[in-house]
Structure 1
Amino acid sequence: MSSFIFVAGRNDDAARDRAFYLLKKYTSATSLRRAIDLYDGFLRDFEREIRKPENVEISLLGKPIDYGEDLQRFLEYLKPMEYARPLLTNPARRAEALGMLREAIRFSAYIWGRRYEEIGAGDSDSLFYKLGYRWFCYESIGVFGKADLAATLISLMCKTASKNGIKRGVVSLGGTRESRRVMCWTYESIFFDTEPRNSIPPIVFPTHLPPCPPKNEESEGQVWSGQPIPVTGIWEPWPVGPTAGVRCPNYYLAGDTASEYQTEGTDTSEAVRWRLIWKDTRYSSGGIPVEEEDYFLPEPVVIESRVRRAWPGEICPQTGEWFANHLNQKVRVAAGDPMPGPERSPGGNLVIWYLNEQATEPEPELLPEDAVAMLGYNPVIEPKPVYCKSGEACPKTGLWKPIVPAGIRGYESFTRPGNLGMMPLRVQAGARMPNFGAYTDEDEARIVWKWIGEQGEYDHPNAARPS
């Protein structure tokens, strides 16, 4: 949870400045156009990937699976976004544009809904999973990570510029499905950026934060809860009680109904007096204000031909030292092993591993075939890695090490240093590979065992002997 949640009577100038900045950012044309661009980029990437020959999947009927229908359905949600895009800087039609985006965000419920749950889109052997799809939208990466971020930005607008005066949001106080979830005042919930489940991008403020306008001490023009808002802008709630401080400012569209206020941590709402502190005239000229240029930092440029990168859970393409900026961590991973997790940093950023070329020895080059024929052997040929899944017949006697992919339930516990469950186990060829002990059958199916050698002093008690 961010440290500037509003507390009645203790909302200092710094907290007001930050809230003022976020309310403008989350309702800005720049933020919403970025969401539209992300969704458009998702569609382009998805179309390119499903047309690649190496991504063709064969159904149980022996025919290639056609994802063209999925693409067409995804494209339908882009139409209202394209209509809304030019209207976002039209003051007379901004409310109409925001309404179109509220309709378009239904793509998130469709993509991460029942249809794709039933066909196993989140299974590790599916094409969707390869493209970054995960069961929980906030865990998605790669191609589908773009769609999730687009939904996140539009959702923030929906919470900030409410409809029909409904100003409440659900906030999770922890990072798991079992974590306590509470209803809270939406304009405080948009500050809960430390839990990915809340789908709020990490909050970053500019070096020079624009100041929030001063409190409106005048009662003239104030609007009571339940009355219509006459002017689009940011309004500040004044409680009836003289001892309670001014509460968190909120963004309203002209025509909205002024809502009651529910103080963070309580279950009761109270009637308040809303007073205008900032009239939204940002797009009166039809252009984008200069201050919005700093809302999103440019994406880091990665030269594919020189820098190798991989996502958590993907198979490592090259043995060497890999580093993740958002984790401030370096690891050594062997080619063929899954890249380690987590998929998001504690701050909610997507984790990408980059190969440290300077600390990585070049892979050996094979000798030409004629040279191998002269020598009678190839001195640089290395044994191909051997893998096996739980329950399958062990293909080779020796020590087997479990590889736990990021994203399964209990990942942090399983991979904690000293966990005996991660110790190599000796299994005889032909025996049934033991179960790792994942919480669900779906997670167990994602566990891969890797053969690491023939030397060992013990057999796994669960390994079935060949008859």
Structure 2
Amino acid sequence: MQDDVTRREIFWLLQRLTSLSLWKAKQNAFKVFASAYETAVKTWPSTDPEAMEADHLKTIYEILSFYDKGLDELARGHRYVWRKGQALERVVNRFNYLASYFYRNPKYWERGGQIEPYPPKVDALARLMRASEYQMEHAPLEVWGTDDNFAQLTSPWALLSREKYSHTFYELAYPTFPEVLPEVPNAPGPAIQSGQTVPCDGIWEPVTIEQSRVLGVIPLGAKLFGNNGCFNYFVTDTKAPNLLNFDRATFNVTAKPTHWRLLWEDTRYENGVLPNESQYFLNAVKPTEQMNHVPVEPIRTGEICPVSGEWRTEEYGGETVYIEQGTSMPDFLVMDNLGERTAHWVTWRLAKKS
């Protein structure tokens, strides 16, 4: 955090992660997933060994409701929505639960976690779900739970290292930075200590106080603050957290109190005006385009179409039809010897993406 480029990148990423535009993008992507999941529950045969759990719909609808409540408040500049028990904190909380218990087939899941790659059509749904997730999206959430209360960001590499965006069975999109990143303000404060109440929303820097005021006079060239770690985003009336201290010799983790100084006060959206935030989504992939990056395997009648396009079956003489993503793959009508048409389940293969 001594490097100017690193400081600018973390500053920009924290502004991005707490922007109304990013959280609206999360909501829109989750709506696409919710629709596809609901269709899967309604149309996949109940005898299908890969059928999705209908009980998850309750959690999905809860998340959609929390998005509506939280974004309505955030659009007014009310950032308490990231505090414990508030709408956008509940979005992250319930999403994590959904992701942990998404597909509990024992071949692929154990103890709240995925242990093997999902079957193709389940993986297609999982990818849609993950399209609404961003690396370190919990950065603005209230820190709470124990006396340790570690800061959400203890290192810049949680946001800057590309390896951190790879999560074994899925990968989150790495952000594209604008050509010119804003300077990090050299703010004089205010400064607070770990455990004290945060006076305003914004980006805060952990610091050491190298030299304090003496009789109200600052000596020429004196440096009041020295960097002591990674920037974090805090919400008003929460408690300033501790840093995490890791002892490599003993592998012990302890809380390290610090001072925090305000770098940038977040006053966005207070007048209901949304600034141009297009810089946060340079070269972004739309949620509905996410499926085009999924290897498309042959699928059977009744399964959910993962990609819009022309699908072909070679059975019973063959036929090519156009099928929309998210709809149920059709059966195939075959004329028998008596001239009557009967439905048959067939295997479909993608011939051409739309």
Instruction: Give the deviation of 1:315 after TM superposition.
Output: 4.3
Identify which of 73, 86, 89 aligns with 1:102.
89
Identify which of 1, 5, 13 aligns with 2:4.
13
1:296 is aligned to 2:268: no
Task: Tell me the secondary structure at the aligned position of residue 13 of structure 2.
Answer: helix
Unaligned runs of 5+ in 1: 1-5, 123-127, 134-141, 170-183, 317-351, 354-362, 368-467
- CA 1:252 to 1:73, structure 2 compared with 1: closer, same or farther past 3 Å? closer
- CA 1:264 to 1:160, structure 2 compared with 1: closer, same or farther past 3 Å? farther
Identify which of 219, 223, 239 aligns with 2:192.
223
Instruction: Give the deviation of 1:293 after TM superposition.
Output: 1.2
Instruction: Give the deviation of 1:145 after TM superposition.
Output: 1.2
- Partner residue, 2:35: 44
Instruction: Give the deviation of 1:115 after TM superposition.
Output: 7.5
Structure with the greater relative contact order (CA < 8 A, sep ≥ 6): 1 or 2?
A: 2
- Partner residue, 1:275: 261
More displaced, 187-196 or 76-85? 187-196
Q: TM-score, normalised by structure 1?
A: 0.49
Task: Tell me the secondary structure at the aligned position of residue 163 of structure 2.
Answer: coil
CA contact (8 A) 1:132 1:144 kept: yes
1:173-184 correspondence runs (5 A): none
Task: Tell me the secondary structure at the aligned position of residue 105 of structure 1.
Answer: helix
Identify which of 202, 212, 221 aligns with 2:174.
202
Task: Tell me the secondary structure at the aligned position of residue 27 of structure 2.
Answer: helix
Identify which of 32, 37, 45 aligns with 1:56.
45
Instruction: Give the deviation of 1:301 after TM superposition.
Output: 8.4
Instruction: Give the deviation of 1:24 after TM superposition.
Output: 0.5
Separation of aligned partners in 1, 2:205 and 2:286: 41
- CA 1:276 to 1:300, structure 2 compared with 1: closer, same or farther past 3 Å? closer
- CA 1:69 to 1:299, structure 2 compared with 1: closer, same or farther past 3 Å? same
Task: Tell me the secondary structure at the aligned position of residue 23 of structure 1.
Answer: helix
Instruction: Give the deviation of 1:314 after TM superposition.
Output: 2.4
- Partner residue, 1:233: 202
Task: Tell me the secondary structure at the aligned position of residue 197 of structure 1.
Answer: coil
- Partner residue, 2:232: 250
Separation of aligned partners in 1, 2:128 and 2:185: 35
Separation of aligned partners in 2, 1:75 and 1:84: 14
- CA 1:277 to 1:112, structure 2 compared with 1: closer, same or farther past 3 Å? closer
- Partner residue, 1:185: 154
Cα offsets for 1:77-117 (capped at 9, x unmatched) = 321122112111222x3213663122223344443445732
Separation of aligned partners in 1, 2:232 and 2:174: 20
- Partner residue, 1:90: 76
Give the structure with higher Rg (CA): 1
Identity of aligned pairs, percent? 21
1:33 is aligned to 2:21: no
Q: Letter of the aligned partner of 2:167 in structure 1?
A: R
Q: Considering fraction of residues, name the structure with more strand.
A: 2
Separation of aligned partners in 2, 1:146 and 1:204: 21
Separation of aligned partners in 1, 2:298 and 2:287: 20
Separation of aligned partners in 1, 2:56 and 2:94: 12
1:158 is aligned to 2:149: no
- CA 1:309 to 1:236, structure 2 compared with 1: closer, same or farther past 3 Å? closer
Q: Letter of the aligned partner of 1:197 in structure 2?
A: H
Q: Letter of the aligned partner of 1:228 in structure 2?
A: T
Q: How many residues align?
A: 273
- CA 1:74 to 1:259, structure 2 compared with 1: closer, same or farther past 3 Å? closer
Instruction: Give the deviation of 1:73 after TM superposition.
Output: 4.1
- Partner residue, 1:77: 63
Instruction: Give the deviation of 1:67 after TM superposition.
Output: 5.5
